[in-house]
Amino acid sequence: MRILVTGATGFVGRYLCPLLAAQGYAVTAAVRSAPERGIDGVETVVQVGEIGPDTAWRAALEGQDAIIHLAARTHVMNETETDSEAIYERINVGGTTGLAKAAAEAGVRRLIYLSSVKALGESSGGEPLTEETLPAPEDAYGRTKREAEKMLLQIIETSNLEVVILRPPLIYGPGAKGNLLSLLRACDKGLPLPLGQIRNRRSLVNLENLADAIVLCLDHPNAANEIFLISDGEALSTPGLIQHICQGLGRPSRLLPFPVWGLRLAGKILGKTDAIDRLTGSLEVSNAKIHQQLDWTPPVNMIQGFERTAEWYLNQRNRSKND
Please provide the DSSP assignment of 70-102 as one string.
-------TT---TTHHHHHIIIIIIHHHHHHHH
What is the pTM (predicted TM-score) of this model?
A: 0.92
- The stretches of the chain forming alpha helices (DSSP H) are 11-22, 58-61, 84-88, 95-106, 140-155, 178-188, 207-219, 238-249, 260-270, 273-280, 288-294, 302-322
Count Cβ neighbours within 10 Å for each residue of 74-93 and write b for 16 or more, e otherwise: bbeeeeeeeeeeebbbbbbb
Does any domain span residue 210?
A: no
Q: Let me know if residue 69 belongs to a domain.
A: yes
Asked, for residue 33, whether it belongs to a domain, the answer is yes
pLDDT of residue 33: 80
In a domain, 211, yes or no: no
Sign of CA dihedral 290, 207, 152, 104: negative
Q: Considering 113, 141, 172, 313, which one is annotated as catalytic?
A: 141
Q: What is the pLDDT of residue 45?
A: 85
Q: What type of residue sits at position 52?
A: G
162: β partners: 110
Domain coverage including residue 126: 2-167
Residue 141 is a catalytic residue: yes
Distance CA 197, CA 276 (A): 13
In the chain, the number of structural domains is 1
Evaluate whether residue 271 is within a structural domain: no
Whether 314 is covered by a domain: the verdict is: no
pLDDT tens, position by position, for the chain (323 residues)?
A: 999 999 998 999 999 999 999 999 999 999 888 776 778 888 888 888 889 999 999 989 999 999 999 998 875 544 455 557 889 999 999 999 999 999 999 999 999 999 999 999 998 878 899 999 999 998 899 999 999 999 999 999 999 999 999 999 999 999 988 888 988 999 999 889 999 999 999 999 999 999 999 999 999 999 999 999 999 999 999 999 999 999 999 999 899 999 999 999 988 998 888 888 888 999 999 999 999 999 999 999 999 999 999 999 998 888 777 66
Instruction: Answer yes or no: is 218 within a domain.
Output: no
231 lies in some domain: no
Looking at residue 77, its pLDDT comes to 45
CATH of the domain at 72: 3.40.50.720
